[in-house]
Structure 1
């Protein structure tokens, strides 16, 4: 599951609104002749990717938050090459080019996102959480060798899936892919080259522009003026002050991580217990209400943006301040509040699941209908094309003067064949990776797991649904992989009923292909704008994916050998979602009195999602404004899944993003704030590796002072 991964592009550098004529002129730039597939770019990309991989395992197991971190990859890679000349001057005999940076961040993203693609923060922990009395079989705990085989089974299918989609959605239709475009603009800024132009309006073909009114011209001039002002601010941000801010924010977050390891109460401050003193109880120990002053989660809030963090905290208040006490006091969830089986946490998890399924499925409908309309329209145009079935009419010629879809015989591809991925590679790769996946999944889980034909169906489903996911990502920056995984689970409840293992694995296989294809498509968009070789990016994706199979597996096994998962430090909320849905579909058991709440919240967010999906058709400004205030269902549900402390820290970051955006005068989070946020996220992610190593070596907290207050909170489990 990747509930907030697509949000990594929100609040970042938003592509400037450039005239379509200007964006078309970018296609006439000369293709760079230099070799962008260099040894140094791959090596540094793998190094950055390992850092991102371990960071994503840490945050994914803790809160379910996983990001592709393409911006951070390009930023960190460029920073490394700024300092390499001081250590290894021979590696910098030639300048580090923007195209090399594209290959670097492509390799890093492929390496860093494997924990999600392979389900190491979702389905694998879910299989380890199974119980004999509930699921009819004991937990499945894979050793290192079998886990490597599983990762190999899902590592490459999405890579081959992305390549054939590039020509259609990036070259022909010119979909925006906001995060990919933002990364291209950042790389251009870092390397001090003109920023690539990209219209926010997707183009399905060529057309003649009608005369524009003076009001449209004034609005365009205002947008261009804002864009120039923002570019000037970004250039200043990436001067010496920007790099110093990145270093200081990284150091501050890392120092806070080490201090919280030595003094756990710093990561679990029971500030809300002041409200429970009259009642003789502890909100921290009894209800999981404490505050975590984590700079990394503040950084995540800056990256997510204010609206998303507000939705998340609204969900947190409803879930943990209303529904959790209600289910506990009425006896619907009699166990400890933090229990995911018979406690309030497990009870509200079902409500979150209903919200996520409702919004995911409804959000897929508009893009599905759009696909059908495009297909029908294309079929009708082919049937009615002059010279094929009937002669041209005057109406046809008039229409074609203003809009003429790109004919199939006209190839808009400007890359020479030697820089493209051959079609034979794609088809052989899809077939080979599909067969490899089916065989390896069968070898890992055996006859009691998922049938080979069922794995093949999951891969086919991933291929179909990835078309929808990639298009949604290109237009909105949101890849509905959660909905894709849930749809697969619903389907396999019919195809292979009564098998929880098969249900979880099938959902994971479908989600992996769609998620990987979407993330890699963002990279291909970045490369397209900066004229990097698609074939070199393909190599980088393959190398990064292969390396991450072993890195991700080692990292996951390291964490599970040191910490109790799920446990106080790592609740693994994504695993609970996967396992509970599989149990529901196969056993049909729900906690007491949770069904009315699931229906009510699911219906509300289904309507909210439908309203937002068809917002463009609203004629009333008042209704449009009301719809804009509706919360994000996925973010709202994540507020249920995570303990309140994580949502509160993200809200602080979201408010910082709001204030800095307002102060900048552009309405967008300035690059300087994004740089600081990146330092915060990377600081805790990197130093968490050090604390993990110390814990495995037998070192612990220096002092558990404060963890016993009113029975303790988060740190009570740490110091137990």
Structure 2
């Protein structure tokens, strides 16, 4: 019998358990899924490390890992008879992707930002074991901090997490059979081929003068080119952001467009004319990221606070830690990650961050505690941003912490950088786990098992990525044309600027933060108290993200969202069947080919550096 006073949340949970959940019937957590995820993710973490130190950007991991694992186990089925009767299941592949993504994104936890920035401003290089311990603690902190967010952002709010949806659709197409599944698989394949061809046409060196442009101006001529160079107003020569926009929906897409027009089309020229910012993306974003980030922070935290009842329900299982049972039976209690994992995991990994911060970097203990507490608040913001737009504002979250410690410890650049490392690294892994859990939610997986896989991925990424960093990121190369480390330079510049006090912030940035924060609050209150008008209210996250990425990224996502919206209006059946499949294929194909090209170009040099380090 169901309780008479059963909440809508419980009804939806019971429906999901009955109609979607497969975690008790299909094998999910296995030795082969964990080992393959650790190995694939560890190898891809090297690619992300090298590319991050070269360009400041990271490569997609999850879909690539899923396709590689599927191909490997299909090949094994062809040569090992036992595997023909013991297929690599869709949930095993999904669990594998959790381990792979955790390992693959290890570079974003500090190896391309905080650590090289620390060297650039202080000249200090860390020992391998110091980096391993620090990254392991920070990354585990992010994993455990995602636990109480999962139920609200995925089960209740049903945020899209576009990469999570793309991963789920990719897995369904590879593992399914039947007419409709075959049609979706073909759509995904055609999308993947299109994305791969575009990446090859654009990035392959042999294309020469026939290469597809990486970007286009809004209109031809010198004026269009100037708008593209000075204000990033143009079109991107990539379909990844277009595909992500098709998944995220029209409301966020329009919000991104509004934000791009305001920040770069209206505010940008004023900032340049007044000498408050320099032309180009790096010049403008050094100003606009402050009001944009403030908007995301106030909106994200207020939205979380307004859902306090759900937060309490998510923590209801904590009563068992103290010997008390929850007053209301939770239908998902046996599969959701227990609240006790959040408590003990956060306490242990948070305490490790505080203690290591004190002994390794001389961060005052209470400042370390404040950094861990601030990290939970900012992880909420980063997770919501990822859920709505597929962009995790790791850099922006780090800047907020740097700003806080620019006030608390104004002359201590080591404290400034390493406390921001806690926030950025943990936020990155929180958002990554939630993206993986979105895939699992769609496929009917067990979130508890995925979280375990994520922790194994953290271990693999730490064990392999740190030694490679000590080999590749040699002090004499950091910051040079050979290894520019652009993200680290931004972190170092902010630390050096804040060492001079808040007065060193760009002129007007403080007032911009106040205005952005107020706008975030107004939008969130409007969504809460006028729900029937919600579709007409811009997304605060979309507006905020538009201020920390180039305008052409936002324009691309809007175009994808608009195309999907038009298809939904004109041909809803075709939209339901093909939009996500084609978009997922585009993301997978272009990202796979991008990784292949980069490895072909950079891999030999990286291997030679590693071999030379060992005397070969």
Q: TM-score, normalised by structure 1?
A: 0.64
The equivalent of 1:636 in structure 2 is: 546
Pairing 1:615–2:526 present: yes
1:337-373: CA deviation from partner (whole Å, max 9, x where unpaired) = 6xxxxx8766533322322332123213422431557
Contact kept, 8 Å, 1:368 with 1:468, in 2: the verdict is no
1:354-393: CA deviation from partner (whole Å, max 9, x where unpaired) = 2233212321342243155778999xxxxxxxxxxxxxxx
Pairing 1:523–2:513 present: no
The equivalent of 1:686 in structure 2 is: 596
Which stretch shifts more, 347-356 or 292-301? 292-301
Unmatched tracts of structure 1, length 5 or more: 1-17, 131-137, 195-231, 338-342, 379-406, 700-720
- Separation in structure 2 between the aligned mates of residue 471 and residue 150 of structure 1, nearest angstrom: 25
Pairing 1:154–2:138 present: yes
CA change 1:327–1:438 in 2 (3 A) is: closer
Describe the SS at the equivalent of 1:637: coil
- Separation in structure 1 between the aligned mates of residue 452 and residue 407 of structure 2, nearest angstrom: 39
1:14-69: CA deviation from partner (whole Å, max 9, x where unpaired) = xxxx9985752332467625643223322332344246535654675677665876
Contact kept, 8 Å, 2:394 with 2:427, in 1: the verdict is yes
Contact kept, 8 Å, 1:316 with 1:636, in 2: the verdict is yes
Deviation at 1:238, TM superposition (A): 1.0
1:453-485: CA deviation from partner (whole Å, max 9, x where unpaired) = 433442344356656766887799887766754
CA change 1:595–1:22 in 2 (3 A) is: closer
Pairing 1:595–2:507 present: yes
Contact kept, 8 Å, 1:52 with 1:69, in 2: the verdict is yes
Describe the SS at the equivalent of 1:178: coil
The equivalent of 2:292 in structure 1 is: 356
Pairing 1:257–2:206 present: no
Which stretch shifts more, 538-547 or 606-615? 606-615
1:29-178 equivalence runs, <5 A: 32=24, 35-50=27-42, 53-54=45-46, 56-57=48-49, 70=62, 73-74=65-66, 77-86=69-78, 90-116=82-108, 118-130=109-121, 138-142=122-126, 144=128, 146-163=130-147, 165=148, 176-178=158-160
Unmatched tracts of structure 2, length 5 or more: 1-7, 315-324, 610-616
Q: 1:370 aligns with which of 303, 306, 328?
A: 306
- Separation in structure 2 between the aligned mates of residue 282 and residue 422 of structure 1, nearest angstrom: 54
Contact kept, 8 Å, 1:266 with 1:292, in 2: the verdict is no
- Separation in structure 2 between the aligned mates of residue 442 and residue 350 of structure 1, nearest angstrom: 30
- Separation in structure 1 between the aligned mates of residue 101 and residue 69 of structure 2, nearest angstrom: 12
- Separation in structure 2 between the aligned mates of residue 484 and residue 77 of structure 1, nearest angstrom: 33
The equivalent of 2:184 in structure 1 is: 237
1:189-588 equivalence runs, <5 A: 190-192=174-176, 236-239=183-186, 242-243=188-189, 245-247=191-193, 249-250=195-196, 252-254=198-200, 256-259=202-205, 275-276=221-222, 293=237, 347-371=283-307, 408-413=326-331, 429-442=345-358, 444-445=360-361, 447=362, 450-463=363-376, 466=379, 485-486=398-399, 488-524=401-437, 526-527=439-440, 530=443, 532-553=445-466, 560=473, 574-575=487-488, 578-588=491-501
Describe the SS at the equivalent of 2:548: helix
Which stretch shifts more, 651-660 or 61-70? 61-70
Contact kept, 8 Å, 1:367 with 1:472, in 2: the verdict is no
Instruction: Provide the alpha-carbon RMSD of the alignment.
Output: 5.3
User: Greater helix percent: which structure?
Assistant: 2
Q: TM-score, normalised by structure 2?
A: 0.73
CA change 1:236–1:488 in 2 (3 A) is: same
The equivalent of 1:10 in structure 2 is: none
Deviation at 1:315, TM superposition (A): 6.4
Please tell me whether Structure 1 or Structure 2 has the larger radius of gyration of its CA atoms: 1
Contact kept, 8 Å, 1:152 with 1:437, in 2: the verdict is no
Contact kept, 8 Å, 1:299 with 1:681, in 2: the verdict is no
- Separation in structure 2 between the aligned mates of residue 459 and residue 523 of structure 1, nearest angstrom: 23
**Count of matched residue pairs:** 583
- Separation in structure 1 between the aligned mates of residue 145 and residue 351 of structure 2, nearest angstrom: 14
- Separation in structure 2 between the aligned mates of residue 272 and residue 467 of structure 1, nearest angstrom: 35
Pairing 1:663–2:563 present: no
